[in-house]
Amino acid sequence: MAFESRSFPRYHWVRRIRNRNIASELVKVQPFIYTACCLNIEPSSAVEALEEPFAIFCVPVAAFGVANVSQSIKTYDGSVFIRTILSENADYDALRCRTRFRSHDSCFWFVRLLEYSVQYNEIENEFVLMVQFLSIIHEFHLREPVFAAMPSMYAYCWKLPCCNAHPI
Q: Is residue 7 part of a domain?
A: no
> Contact at 8 Å (CB) between 136 and 94?
yes
Residue 12: phi, psi to the nearest 5? -65, 145
pLDDT-derived band at 70 (thresholds 50, 70, 90) equals low
Q: Is residue 164 part of a domain?
A: no
Residue 3 lies in a domain: no
pTM: 0.76
Binning pLDDT at 50, 70 and 90, where does residue 54 land? Answer: very high
Counting the structural domains of the chain, the total is 1
Q: Is residue 163 part of a domain?
A: no
What is the per-residue pLDDT across 3-36, written as a single tens digit (0 to 9) for each?
A: 444 455 566 778 888 888 888 888 888 888 888 8
How much is the pLDDT for 155?
58
Task: Label residue 2 by pLDDT band (50, 70, 90).
Answer: very low
Q: What is the CA radius of gyration of the chain?
A: 17
Residue 60 lies in a domain: yes
Q: Is residue 149 part of a domain?
A: yes
Q: Would you say residue 156 has pLDDT above 50?
A: yes
In a domain, 8, yes or no: no
Give per-residue pLDDT as tens, 87-144. Answer: 887 777 788 777 766 566 778 889 999 999 888 887 877 888 988 889 889 888 887 7
Q: Which distant-in-sequence residues (6+ apart) come within 8 Å of 48 by Cβ?
A: 39
Q: Specify if 142 maps to a domain.
A: yes
3-state SS track over 45-110: CCCCCCCCCEEEEEEECCCCCHHHHHHHEEEECCCCEEEEEECCCCCHHHHCCCCCCCCCCEEEEE
Domain span at residue 95 reads: 13-157
- Which secondary structure element, helix H or strand E, spans residue 136, and what is its range? strand 126-140
Q: Are 40 and 127 in contact (CB under 8 A)?
A: yes
Residue 168 has pLDDT above 80, yes or no: no
